[in-house]
Chains A and B, each alone.
Chain A
Amino acid sequence: MAATGPVSGFSGADKPEYADYSRCVHCGLCLNHCPTYRLWGQEADSPRGRIRQMQLVDEGRLELGEGFVTHIDRCLDCRACETACPSGVEYGKLVEVARAQIEQHYQRSLASRVARDFVYRWLLPHPRRIAAAARVLRVYQRTGLAAFARGTGILKLLGLQDRERLLPKIDTDFFFGDLGRTFPARGPRRARVAFFAGCVAQVTFSELNRATIRVLQANGGEVVVPAGQTCCGALPAHAGVRDVARDLARANFEAFPAIDFDAIVTNAAGCGSTLKEYMHLFPAADPAHEQAAQFTIKIRDVSEFLADLGLTAPLREVPLRVTYQDSCHLAHGQKIREAPRKLIRAVPGVELIEMKLADQCCGSAGVYNVTETEASLELLALKMDSARGTKAQAIVTANPGCILQLRAGAAIHDTGQEVLHVVELLDRALQRA
């Protein structure tokens, strides 16, 4: 330590604050809930250890260097630790600002910087670029190039084989075309909602988005899809790229005049939890903070919204044995566990069997499956093991990212299980009605 006394490794705004990290009383109750601690069993990869590392950097006792970055990178941001923590530590908030500090002060390798800039700054904020990139990928997937690549073992050579499986399948018909439209309620209107369509979801989950709208309509929802909306900023925010996240948030405030709607509904738990926490992005003094407050009180996950509203649409029998995987950002981020289960049970003929550790992360975690593939696959293996144990025919979940991961899991581990979003299950019950 220098004679002048220790100097904090953090600086500027967006850093872990004493008031937040000191809430951690190092009781350790979160450890066994943390997927990465369960995998590797060491403090550095546990919530308590990560918080301590933040504290140590802040106290100038630990360098904001490779070790710190590695352990913070390895965090899934699944926030299971928040659920477990009795002291009310807001871990999600802490890790995001810790990542913001890394983003500002740590020089990553060139390749990593290029890739991160490409994704967080060049691609995600721009719908048109997403569409363009998606078209390229679609060509790859549809032309037989994919099959060729797989078949020849090129992917294996490039070490990409498992990662490739984790890539989303690109839709034929993007959702962008539906932006700006209004969908009337079926029957008497019970609510007027704005639909948050997501970014990558628009090229990979157009069908899920449409199903969501159908289910909302069928239950008396008038659904508006505001045109100016953009990515929620979850991925950049989780990665510590806060300036981009803030710009995206501001764009969304504009696109969703909150007073016009009973609710702003999303079918992506990951987006939902970011949208609900937009206030964390802006200091209290910033006028955007108040805007965020107005905006966030309207945000609802689709399961939450439908469970509160109550299902009125007649549902046909769907004979299916299912199990439910708690999406982290729904269960831990938004503390919603019952709503999706209630909706699933509402479908006649569906039998819900709980799996072990349903609320443990499947390893998807935003882009984790791409950046930390090995850990992601280990977690996925554990998850598929629990899912298989239930003998369910389908795994139901609440977030597109989880759906992708679980589909890959079902394929890799050959469980033969279908993977559905809660609203897709409801939609299935509707369509046959």
Chain B
Amino acid sequence: MPMDSRLLHDLKKLLGPRGVLHEPEDLMLYEYDGSVEVARPDCVVFPRATAEVVEIVRLASRHKVPLVGRGTGTGLSGGAIARHGGIITSFARMNRIVEIDAENQRATVQPGVVNSDLSVAVEHLGLHFAPDPSSQKACTIGGNVSENSGGPHTLAYGVTVNHVLSLEIVLPSGELMRLGSPALDPPGYDLTGLFVGSEGTFGLVTEITVKLTRNPEAVKTLLAVFDSVDDATETVAEITARGITPAACEMLDGWTIRAVEDYVHAGFPLDCAAILLIEVDGLREVAEAEAKDVADVCALHHAREVRVARDARERDLLWKGRKNAFGAAGRLAPSYYTQDGVIPRTKLPATLRGIGEISKKYGLQIGNVFHAGDGNLHPIILFDERNEQQFRDTIRAGDEIIEFCIQMGGSITGEHGVGMEKDRLMPLLFSEADLDLMRRVRDVFNPTGMLNPGKILPISKGCGEIYVRPRPALAPPSA
């Protein structure tokens, strides 16, 4: 659907020719994000200030055109994809850190600021922004707010919502509004808490005030190597039983370890069944004592080896291995599909066996990376997008894994969001009444549904029947 020329003209007048993309060759580059979904927008705009965002929203609303916000497009559920076309508002150029208030441990940023850029900017103050998705060097804080992103350190430090105090938002009506307050506990309903994680369906975020967290005095990172996955999972259970809450507790299975090691050379042994990457932090004494306890528990559960990173470089290397696990899988097949299920962590061994069976059933290679501390699984399914059948099987296998998680009492997504990937799975978790209420809550903010349409809430009512979408395929290359 070509863009209304009047609207295009107005957008260009507002943002200048460099602020608007509308040629097909440019739009094709906004068909995708980090997920396996594809859809083409009709136009992409690049505001630099809140006032411009307000105007964009007003224009879109006047012309009844769908509007989708976009950070870096690292999302893994198609959140930033214009499912029904329309205008993508890229926040790439609204990337200014507005204010750093070190004494009050607050920072105010524009939404396009990259997550780790904020931490780098406050490093000299001994502070950091705690949410640390593995994509933190690329993803934006606006994206984090929309997805309520977590990361390896979520276990101890919480997810994005625990660190967001106030938001400036533009509603689809064009109304500018501030939610929350830099001070704690503002009276009234917790609209900030509701907004965080709404996946861009409530409003466009134009400014964010976050808490900054003091860097721990000491950090100890341990790598424990296991010959059996069950030993590794039991280790996790016992660490909890002993009352230790590690800052992070990550697990990689043998297959993933081999994929990662090939790229990162973090020194992960190639012949083991699982590794745990455990981090404890706090006061020097705390970190040391807990590291010792953790090492003891690992040994008790037959860890073949426990290694403690000696310095920041070794620590970074171990983390690099973990944080690059998804991408490293990309080296082994033309495409991969990352699932994001959650289970009660005590159900880890059973779930892993379940995933193993699903892998066998479809003949698909599935690697497993997870935030073992909080039961958030990231099975990575490898496939070749040129093989239609395989693509379909991949989606089916992913769905079966999710169903399994739900049977275990878990959830369909721990941090990547529902987006356009899992809207159809929502009925597995929520009743029609729940979903209807959610729909009405969305309508409070986004009554016309023109903001990021086709996300989170399933369109069709009723059953949680699994269907396979038409493949978002690209034409196969010809010689």
Contacts and interface: CB of A to CB of B under 8 A. Distances in A.
In-complex A–B contact (CB below 8 Å): yes
Given A25-B335, A30-B138, A55-B474, A42 B21 contact: yes
A62 B46 CA distance: 23
B328 interface: yes
B117 A32 contact: yes
Contacts of A22: 334-335, 385
B474 A27 contact: no
Interface stretch (A3-11, A206-214, A281-289): A3-11
Nearest to A338: B313
Contact of A41 (B92, B138, B330): B92
Contacts of B135: 27-29
A58 interface: yes
Interface in A1-55: 1, 5-8, 18, 22-33, 37, 41-44, 49, 52-53, 55
Given A31-B72, A32-B117, A42 B92 contact: yes
**Interface of A: prevailing SS:** loop
A8 B477 contact: yes
B263 interface: yes
Interface stretch (B9-17, B26-34, B282-290, B462-470): B26-34
A61 interface: yes
Interface stretch (A84-92, A140-148, A250-258, A369-377): A84-92
A255 to B, nearest CB: 34
B103 interface: no
A315 interface: no
Nearest to B336: A25
B32 A26 contact: yes
B33 A87 contact: no
Interface in B1-50: 21, 23, 25-26, 28-30, 32-34, 44, 46
Interface residues of B, number: 46
Contacts, number: 127
A32 B114 contact: yes
Contact of B29 (A18, A53, A63): A53
B34 A41 contact: no
Interface in A56-86: 56, 58-63, 67-68, 84-86
A8 B478 contact: yes
Contact of B328 (A37, A53, A62, A86): A86
Contacts of B336: 25
30 contacts: A5-B475, A18-B477, A24-B330, A27-B74, A27-B330, A28-B33, A28-B73, A28-B139, A29-B137, A29-B327, A30-B138, A31-B74, A32-B138, A33-B137, A41-B46, A41-B92, A42-B44, A43-B26, A52-B32, A60-B477, A61-B28, A67-B23, A67-B25, A67-B26, A86-B327, A86-B328, A87-B327, A88-B327, A88-B331, A356-B120
Given A1-B475, A42-B21, A88-B328, 9 more contacts: A27-B326, A28-B33, A29-B74, A32-B72, A43-B29, A44-B26, A58-B477, A87-B330, A88-B331
7 tightest A-B CB contacts, nearest first:
A86-B327, A41-B92, A87-B330, A86-B324, A43-B29, A25-B330, A28-B74
